[in-house]
Amino acid sequence: MAVSRREFLKGSAAAVALSALGAPVLAATGSAGPDKWVKGVCRYCGTGCGVLIGVKGDKAVAIKGDPNNHNEGKLCQKGALLIPAVVYAKDRITDPMIRKGGKKSPLEKVSWEEALDFAAKHFRETIQKDGPQAVAYYGSGQALTEESYLANKIWKAGLRSNNVDGNPRLCMASAVAGYLTSFGKDEPMGTYNDIDNATCFFIIGSNTSEAHPILFDRIARRKESSPDVKIIVADPRRTNTARIADMHVPFKPGTDLALLNGMANVIFREELDNTRFIDRYTAFKKGTGEAASLEEYKAFVAEYTPEKVQEISGIPAADVVKIAKLFAESTAAVSLWCMGINQRSKGVWANNLIHNLHLITGQIGRPGATPLSLTGQPNACGGVRDTGCLAHLLPAGRMVENEQHRNQMEDFWGVPRGTIQPKMGLHTVALFENMVQGNVKALFIHCTNPAHTLPHLNKYTPALEKAFVAQTECFMDAETLKYADVVFPAAFWCETDGVYGCTERRYALTEQAIPPLGNSRPVIQVLMDFAKRVGVDPKLMPYKNAADIWEEWRKLSKGSPYDFFGITRNRLKKESGIKWPCPTEDHPGTNLRYVRGEDPLVPKDHPDRIFFYGSPNGKATIWLRPHQPPFEPADAEYPFVLTTGRVIDQWHTATMTGKVPELHRAYPSAFVEINPDDAQKLGVKNGDQVVLETRRDKMTFPARITDTCMPGLVFCPFFDKAKLVNRLFHDAVDAASKEPEYKICSTKVYKQA
Amino acid sequence: MAAKKPLLIIALLLALAGGFYLYINIIFPPVRCEAAKHPEAPEQYADCLECHLKVTPATAQNWRESKHGVLLVKCVVCHGLPDGKGSVPFAAKPGVQDICVRCHEPAMKQMVEKYGAELECDSCHPHHQNPMHRRAFEAKKPSKTSF
C-alpha cells in the first residue's frame, strides 16, 4: 500500500508539473484556437476520413476529424498528427529545381519558367524524334481527381500517348479487374454502412487494423455492440486485426485460392447456396471465357474438398467447413480484402473467387452483405480508376481498345476522331521495362515515389537513370528525386483544392486552407503550363481552376454507369462527401449499388430487385478459377516465404510519416519478423542482424522474434528508404491486371556472420 | 527535564519518519529497470510498449487491453513524446480539452448536451482501466450461427 500511495503521489506531482509544462507548448504551436476550420479529407489511406483543418492567419495549426463524415470525428494517429509536422516539414520543396549537367550533377534551384521550359523541351524533342509513345505519365492514387483527369486528357488526347499509368497499378489493379470481370463495372457495390449491418466479417489479405485503422475501429464497434457478430481473419500473419477475430485462420502463403474454392464447395455440400439468386442474377464462365453451367461449377469446386484444401493450405479441414458455414449461414456477410489478395500473380482470380462466394450465397445487395475491397490510397478509386487514368482505360469505365468509347471521348473533348491511339499504353512494369530498353525516353512522375516502390528495384531503377524524369514532389527525401532531372514543387494537400474518392465511392472535397508554401504551385497549373510548352492545344485545357475541371468531369459522367452529375462543387463544399451514383443535385447518394429503389441507375420499374447493369447480360459472373500456386513459392534452396506490408505508424514510403516524431520513433527503420520456432532453428535472437537472400539480392535486417508470422514466413515493412525491401522481390505480374506480386517471394534466412 | 520530553518525542517521530522514507526508497527504488529515463538516442527509438511492458507492466497491460490498445491508439497520440519534440505536448495526464477532444468531440458534445456541464471525461472513463473498457470487443455469447 505504501508503495502504491508513494507512486501515486509522485505520479500526481509529475503530472501536475508536466501539464503545466505542456500548456505553453500547446500555445506555442498555436493549436489553441484556430481562426477557422476548413473541411477536407485525410491525406493518407483509402479510408478517406473527413478532417477539419484549423487555420490561424495563413498557417495550418490544427487538425481534427470531421464529425459529419463517415469517421464521425475520429482520426487515426497518422491523420491526427498530420499538422503541423508534415505540412511544415523542414525538407518541403519550395522551389523548382533542375539538373543542368545530367543525372550526376546536383539539383539547382531555378525559376518556374526555366524549369518548365527545360522539361517541356525534352518532352517536345523526344516526341518529335521518337513519337508520342516515347513519353509517359506515371501518376498516383494520391493525386487529386482533377489532376489525374487533366493528365489523362493531356496525354491521351493532347500528346496522343496512352502511356498513362500510375501506382494504383501496384495496388488496386487486381481489384479493378476483379469487379470488372465479375460485375461488368469497377468499384464496390457496398459502402462502410455495411460494416454496421454485417453479422459476419470475412477479412482476408488485409491488416485492417494497421492499414485502415478507422475502419477497424468501426468493425470493432460493430462487434462490441453485438458480440454475436462473427469475425474471421484469414491471414498467414496473426496481425493486430486478428485480435478481435473469433477465428484467425493462418494458411500457407499463396494458397487462399484453394480456400475460397473449398468454401464454395462446402456451401454447396451443406446446401447453403442461394439457388434463386444464382438462377436470377448470375451466369457462369470458364477461365477461357466460354459459358459454363451451375452443374459444371459445382463439379469444378467439388474437387476442393476440405481435406484437399487442408493439404494445399495447411488449414484444418474442419476449419474450412466452419468458415464456409459461418459465412453462408450468417444473415449478412461482408468480405474485406486488400493487398494480400491484390498484390498477387493470381490477384484477379482471387478477387473473382471472393465475389463468387457472395454470388452463390446471395450475400450481396443487402445492408451488411457485400464484397468490399479496401483501397490503399486516398484517391485511387475516385481519382484514377474512375477518371480512367491508367494505360488501358478512358474516363468513366471506358476502354482504350473500344473504338466506340474512344469516339465518345474524342467527341466530348472536341478532338478529331482517331486522335486517341487505338492500342492501350504500357502498364507500369512494362513501362519501366521499356524505359530500361530505351523505348520510353521521358517520364513525368506525379505524386509518387517509384524508385522506392517498384518491384525488383535493381532491374528497374536503371530505367530512371536512363530516361529524362520530370517530377512533382513535396518532400526532399523521396528516393525518386535522386533520378529526377526536373523537380516541380507541388502545393501540398490543403494548400490547393481538389476531390478525393475513397473506397466506398464517396467523393469529398478538400478545400484550400492555406496558400502554397514558398514557390510551390498547384499541380493542375504545373500540368497545364507544361503541356502548353510541349505543344498541347491550349483549347484542350480551358480551365481557370480545379473547379472548372471538376465541372467538365461531372458533365462527362452524366448518363454513364459512374453518374455523379449531381455532385456539384457547391454541394461538395457544403456536404462531407457524397457517394455516387448521384445523378441529380437533389439525390442523397447511393449506398446499395445495383439495387432497385436504392441505385438511381436501376430503373424504378425494373422487374428484378438487383440489376447488374454494368455487364451486357445484366448478370454477374461466377468464374471457374482453379487454385494456382504463387510465382515463386518456397523451395529447398530458398525455404522461407518473404512478404511485405505496412506498420500502423508509417505510410507508404514514409516521406510524410517520417516527418512526425511521434510516428517515426515507434518504427524508425525496417526489420524482419521471424517466428520463434524458426528463430530457434536459425539460432537468431531478438535484434540480431539477419540476412534475407533471394534470387535477386540480399539485405540485412534486425530480427524481431514474434509469433505474428507463422513458421516459414518472414515479414518486412516497406517504408524504409535505407532498406529498400523491394530489391529482394521479383517482378511477376498478374496476367490480367498487370499488378506485381509483392506479397510472396522465396528467400533464404540466416544470421549475419 | 519534563520540558524536553515532547521535543524528544518529536525528534524520535521525525527520525522514524525519515527512516521509513529511506527504507521505502531503498527497498522500492523509483526506477525499476535499466532505463533510468526515456531513451532518446535515435538508435534507441522504439515503440513505447516494448519498454513499458517491463517498466510499468500494469499500465502497459491496461492500455493493451483497452479499446485504445486494441485499436493501436498508441501512447504518443495522447501523451506526446517525452522529450517534447512532437506536436503533442508531453503530459502524463493529457488534457481533456486539448487531447481527448481531438477524437471524441462529437461524444463530448453529446455529454454536455445531456448533462449540461463540461465534465472531465476521465472521472467516469479512466483512460487505461479495464472495467470501463469492458474487456473491449471480446465475444461473450455464442452466435446463433455457431455449432
Binary contact (B145, A666; C-beta < 8 A) = no
| Cβ partners under 8 Å of residue A286, min gap 6 | A292, A296, A623, A624
In terms of Cα–Cα distance, which of A614, A612, A615, A616 is closest to A595? Answer: A612
Is residue A43 a part of any domain in this protein? no
Q: Tell me the C-alpha to C-alpha distance, in Å, between residue A739 and each of A26, A136, A380, A388, A572.
A: 45, 18, 14, 16, 33
Same domain, A107 and A180: no
Same domain, A160 and A307: no
pLDDT of residue B3: 66
User: Could you give the CA distance from residue A91 to residue A475 in angstroms, rounded to a whole number?
Assistant: 6
* Average pLDDT over every residue of B47-69: 86
Neighbours of A547 (CB within 10 A): 18
Same domain, A431 and A532: yes
Question: Which three-class secondary structure state does DSSP give residue A581?
Answer: coil
Binary contact (B139, A11; C-beta < 8 A) = no
Domain limits at A23?
Answer: 1-30
Same domain, A228 and A130: no
Binary contact (A31, B87; C-beta < 8 A) = yes
* Mean pLDDT per 10-residue interval, chain A, length 753 residues: 39 36 34 85 97 96 93 93 94 97 96 98 97 98 98 98 97 95 96 97 97 96 89 97 95 97 98 97 95 97 98 98 98 98 97 98 97 96 94 95 97 97 97 97 97 97 97 97 98 97 96 97 98 97 97 96 96 97 97 97 96 96 97 97 96 96 92 97 96 98 96 97 97 97 97 93
The yes-or-no verdict on residue B132 having pLDDT over 50 is no
Is residue A568 a part of any domain in this protein? no
Element (H, E) at A464: helix A457-466
pLDDT of residue B28: 67
pLDDT of residue B118: 63
User: Could you give the CA distance from residue B75 to residue A187 in angstroms, rounded to a whole number?
Assistant: 36
Residue type, A422: P
Indicate the residue of B73, B74, B92 with minimum beta-carbon distance to A15.
B92
pLDDT of residue A329: 97
Q: Is the CB of residue B48 less than 8 Å away from at least one CB of chain A?
A: yes
User: Could you give the CA distance from residue A734 to residue A345 in angstroms, rounded to a whole number?
Assistant: 4
Binary contact (A661, B86; C-beta < 8 A) = yes
CA distance B27 to chain A (A): 10
Is residue A579 a part of any domain in this protein? no
Chain B residues touching A14 at Cβ < 8 A: 92
Mean pLDDT of chain B: 76
User: Could you give the CA distance from residue A652 to residue B82 in angstroms, rounded to a whole number?
Assistant: 26
Domain-terminating residue out of A530, A558, A586: A558
pLDDT-derived band at B119, boundaries 50, 70, 90: low
Same domain, A504 and A396: yes
Percent of chain A that is helix, strand, coil (3-state, to 5): 35, 20, 45
DSSP A233: E
pLDDT-derived band at B128, boundaries 50, 70, 90: low
Could you tell me how far CA B34 lies from the centroid of its own chain? 20
User: Could you give the CA distance from residue A580 to residue A589 in angstroms, rounded to a whole number?
Assistant: 5
Residue of A nearest to B74 (CA): A77
Residue of B nearest to A84 (CA): B87
Binary contact (B71, A246; C-beta < 8 A) = no
Is residue A736 a part of any domain in this protein? no
Is residue A46 a part of any domain in this protein? no
DSSP A227: T
Q: Is the CB of residue B139 less than 8 Å away from at least one CB of chain A?
A: yes
Residue of B nearest to A26 (CA): B89
Domain-terminating residue out of A574, A592, A624: A624
In terms of Cα–Cα distance, which of A677, A660, A687, A749 is closest to A77? Answer: A660
pLDDT of residue B146: 36
Is residue A739 a part of any domain in this protein? no
pLDDT of residue B41: 80
Binary contact (A21, B84; C-beta < 8 A) = yes
pLDDT-derived band at B43, boundaries 50, 70, 90: confident
CB of A509 within 8 A of CB of A572? yes
Could you tell me how far CA A407 lies from the centroid of its own chain? 30
User: Could you give the CA distance from residue B77 to residue B104 in angstroms, rounded to a whole number?
Assistant: 13
Same domain, A315 and A400: no
User: Could you give the CA distance from residue A9 to residue A4 in angstroms, rounded to a whole number?
Assistant: 8
DSSP B117: S
Q: Is the CB of residue B30 less than 8 Å away from at least one CB of chain A?
A: yes
The yes-or-no verdict on residue B16 having pLDDT over 80 is yes
DSSP string, A69-116: STTTT---HHHHT-TTTTTT-TTB--S-EEETT-TTSPEEE--HHHHH
Binary contact (B137, A6; C-beta < 8 A) = no
Which CATH number is A677's domain given? Answer: 2.40.40.20
pLDDT of residue B24: 80
Binary contact (A19, B103; C-beta < 8 A) = no
Same domain, A296 and A369: yes
CA distance B35 to chain A (A): 17
Question: Strand A640-645 vs strand A713-717: parallel, antiparallel, or unpaired?
Answer: parallel
Same domain, A135 and A270: no
User: Could you give the CA distance from residue A383 to residue A147 in angstroms, rounded to a whole number?
Assistant: 8
User: Could you give the CA distance from residue A639 to residue B35 in angstroms, rounded to a whole number?
Assistant: 39
Q: Is the CB of residue B84 less than 8 Å away from at least one CB of chain A?
A: yes
Same domain, A241 and A372: yes
Is residue A44 a part of any domain in this protein? no
pLDDT of residue B34: 52
Is residue A492 a part of any domain in this protein? yes
pLDDT of residue A132: 97
- Candidates A3, A7, A19, partner chain B, best to mutate (most B CBs within 10 A): A19
Same domain, A408 and A493: yes
Same domain, A236 and A323: yes
**Grid coordinates of A664:** 517515426
pLDDT of residue A272: 98
Question: Which three-class secondary structure state does DSSP give residue A511?
Answer: coil
Q: Is the CB of residue B64 less than 8 Å away from at least one CB of chain A?
A: no
| Cβ partners under 8 Å of residue A91, min gap 6 | A475, A476, A477, A659
Chain A residues touching B89 at Cβ < 8 A: 21-23, 25-26
Domain count, chain A: 4
Same domain, A458 and A554: yes
pLDDT of residue A9: 37
- Say if the ipTM goes beyond 0.90: no
pLDDT in tens, B75-103: 988 899 988 888 888 988 888 888 888 88
